[in-house]
Structure formats: structure tokens, C-alpha cells
Amino acid sequence: MTKALKGVRILDFTHVQSGPTCTQLLAWFGADVIKVERPGVGDITRGQLQDKPNVDSLYFTMLNHNKRSITLDTKNPKGKEVLTALMKKCDVLVENFGPGVLDRMGFPWEKIQSINPKLIVASIKGFGPGPYEDCKVYENVAQCTGGSASTTGFRDGLPLVTGAQIGDSGTGLNLALGIVTALYQRTMTGKGQKVTASMQDGVLNLARVKLRDQQRLAHGPLTEYSQYGEGIPFGDAVPRAGNDSGGGQPGRILKCKGWETDPNAYIYFITQAAVWEKICDVIGEPGWKTHPDYAKPPARLSRLNEIFARIEQWTMTKTKFEAMDILNKDDIPCGPILSMKELIEDQSLRATGTVVEVDHPERGKYFSVGNPIKMSDSPTEVTRSPLLGEHTDEILRQVLGFTDHQVAEIHDSGALDPPRKLDPPRKVVPAYATFEI
């Protein structure tokens, strides 16, 4: 079966997490993704959080499946020539360098356009134009500056970052959508364009309901927030709402059987108005269906602590999976808190390819998250990440059409080697040394 992006070639200049997430998705849809890496080092994540010595880390392998790797010193004149040749042969250049890096490398947008006017140049930066545009940004910086941290956590506690990498992987998704949209537009215009996605924008986009609440605040308290029912006044910015649900239907995380020893024996429980009567029956409080203090949502708001405590008495008699089974039969919205251990062992996620086992020549077998987007005519096969520079010669010959002589010349130029240190070694001065003026 063919792949949706078969025939699309990506010059993948990405590193760490945000950019590689994007290009990995494109590779899963069938694009030929050529990852350009710095000789000797490669993507810095190859060596970060290594669980096995001298083997590409899971951090790297889980973000770079289905790609080819070429090493190239793009500051070396021959390296620039090879990069230019690659730009001519590719449909999309994807990068998430720090601000200004591509320009400093000698490839501003105008130059790239003159090399290949059809090339789509897709970039992730921490911020869009504005006061912070020159800043380097990592995941948690994006979560903090995009409105996620200020609205995550408990009202009387610190702002919190989330475990989900919404700044990196979330923005990678946005960029991937921008790229395929630009590819579609190019079929009509014949021209490339710039596609940019900032991590701050990406997080704010995901925190949209909190910007909604910020404006609602001007018209009165946010009645679905627990603090309203507890009589605690609101300030001038959206507060942290603990585990309250963002959809206007009160929800909480409740203990289940085994919570004393299992940190994940909990369930998310939503007291959705439409199923309130069923909830009353399940927890053994049929009288609440008609009692004026409990029957209608507004009456319940000031009693949420009492109501959830009563529901929790019931959930504590069931495991999270038993509770899920019982509640789902009545369409009562709920979700067990699943640990990473449970997710990696989940056979249904294995069956759908959401959790995949991959074999790697140096590290052996490991699990990864497969393509979260399933297409009936473009199935995803997850193949291992490339070793550093594994495909350098193959790309020089097959993609760029260089002859043996030209390939030898490129090797001799040093463009495929780590930059040589030209400066003489610096004299080490002990920290306690005094200097003569």
C-alpha cells in the first residue's frame, strides 16, 4: 500500500524534541526524511538521559524513527555546498534552531528562495515576533509562558508544569499541519512559503479554555470552579483549579480500592448533569435525585466537597477498572488514572500500533509511541532511528547524484568530520591565580 506523503522529501534540520516530533510524523506518513546532523555529535539528545552507555538514548530513538541521517558541518564551505544541493532536492526544510541560527549559517529566507523557490521552510521557535523573540526556549519555559503553568495545580500551591510535552510535541504537531497545508497550497501556486509555529502560541492554543475563563471572570465568578462553592473570592486572573473539569461539569480525581499503596489507584469522575440520577443510584443515594439541595446543578455547587466525598466512599470500594466498567454502563463520564507501566503493557494499544516494539542494532528491543493518527490508506510502520551519519554516503550518491570522485572530495574537505580546533590550546589559569595589570 502506498503512503500519503510518498515522494515528499524533507530536509530535517531539527533537534531535541519539538522539531523531531514534526518530522517523525511526516516520515510516518511516508515522506523521505533526511536528518542533517553535526559531525561527531549529532542531535544532542543522542547522548542525553542514556540508559545504556554509548548507545543512542531512548530520548533520541523515540523521536527519530523512519528517518535517514547524514552528518554535515554546515559551517564548512564544502558542507554549505552539500546543504545547498540538498535544498534543491527537497520539498521542505524543517528546523528548530535558536533564533537567527539559519541566517548566521548563511541561509536567510531570501537566499533559500533563490536556491529553490518551491522549498517550504518550516520553523519552530520559542516565541513569535515580540519582546522575547530572541530567547531560546525549552518545554517548561513554553508551558510557563503559554498560560499552562499559571492555570495548572492547586489554588493555594505553586504553578505546575504538566508531564505531557505540550510545548514541544504539541508544537511539532502544529508545524506538521502547517507543512502539509503549505504542500497542498504549493500544488496550486507552485511556490514555497515560510511556515512558523511558536511554542508559546502552541501552548496558549491548548490552554484556550483558560483564556475563555479569563474573559468570563469580568462578568462574575467562575461557578464551576470548586473555589466558588467554597466561598473563596476570585482575583483578577484565572486561578489554578486543581482537578476541576474545564467543561463546566464538576469533576474530581477520587480514590479507588488500593489507593493506600498504589499511587495511581484513582479515577476521574465527572458529575455530568445529564446522568446525575444514574450517579445517585450507583452510589446509593437515590434520595438526592429529588432533594432540593442536590437535584439541580446550581444547588450542588456549594456542596461539591460533600458530594465528591460521598462518591469517593463508593469508588474506594472498587478498583479503578471495576468502577470504570460500572460507570461506563450508565454513560457516566470517568477515566482511570493509568500509569506508564499500565500503558506500556496495554494489549489494545499494542494492537492499534499506538505502543510499538522496535528493534535497534545497538540497544536491542524497546517500546515507543507509534503514530497517534491512523489512516486507512496510509498505514504506519515504525522503523528504527538512524545511527549518526548512517546514510551519509547513500544520500550523497543516491539523492544528490555525486560521483565517487565528488564524494571523495567531500570527505577530504572535512565537511563530514567534527570541526577541527584551529585555535592553539588555551592556557589553564587556576581559579585562585591573580592577574598582573
- In the region spanning residues 9 to 68, those forming contacts with ligand CAO, defined by CB under 6 A, are 16-19, 36, 38
**Of 92, 94, 96, nearest to 18 (Cα)?**
96
Instruction: Name residue 95's beta-bridge partners.
Output: 13, 123
Of the candidates 91, 168, 213, 244, the residue annotated as catalytic is: 168
Residue 182, interface with ligand CAO (CB under 6 A)?
Answer: no
Residue 178, interface with ligand CAO (CB under 6 A)?
Answer: no
x-marked contacts with ligand CAO along 101-120 as a string, rule CB under 6 A: x--xx---------------
Q: Alpha-carbon distance 244 to 242, whole Å?
A: 6
248: left (phi over 0), alpha (psi -120 to 50) or beta: left
* For ligand CAO, the closer CB: 101 or 253: 101
User: What are the phi and psi torsion angles at 156 (to 5°)?
Assistant: -95, 15
Burial class (CB in 10 A: 0-12, 13-18, 19+), 166: buried
* For ligand CAO, the closer CB: 132 or 259: 132
Residue 88, interface with ligand CAO (CB under 6 A)?
Answer: no
Q: Alpha-carbon distance 27 to 347, whole Å?
A: 25
Burial class (CB in 10 A: 0-12, 13-18, 19+), 151: buried
* For ligand CAO, the closer CB: 34 or 137: 137
Residue 91, interface with ligand CAO (CB under 6 A)?
Answer: no
Residue 239, interface with ligand CAO (CB under 6 A)?
Answer: no
* For ligand CAO, the closer CB: 36 or 238: 36
Q: Alpha-carbon distance 224 to 234, whole Å?
A: 12
Task: Tell me, by CB under 6 A, how many residues bind ligand CAO.
Answer: 24
Q: Which of 25, 63, 70, 72 binds ligand CAO (CB under 6 A)?
A: 72
Cell of 146: 503559554
Question: Which residues neighbour 82 within 8 Å (Cβ) at sequence distance 6 or greater?
Answer: 72, 396, 400, 410, 415
* For ligand CAO, the closer CB: 69 or 271: 69
Residue nearest to ligand CAO (CB): 98
Residue 136, interface with ligand CAO (CB under 6 A)?
Answer: yes
Known catalytic residue at 91: no
Q: How far is the CB of 62 from ligand CAO (least distance, A)?
A: 13
Summarize as ranges the residues that interact with ligand CAO (CB under 6 A).
16-19, 36, 38, 72-75, 96-98, 101, 104-105, 124-126, 136-139, 168
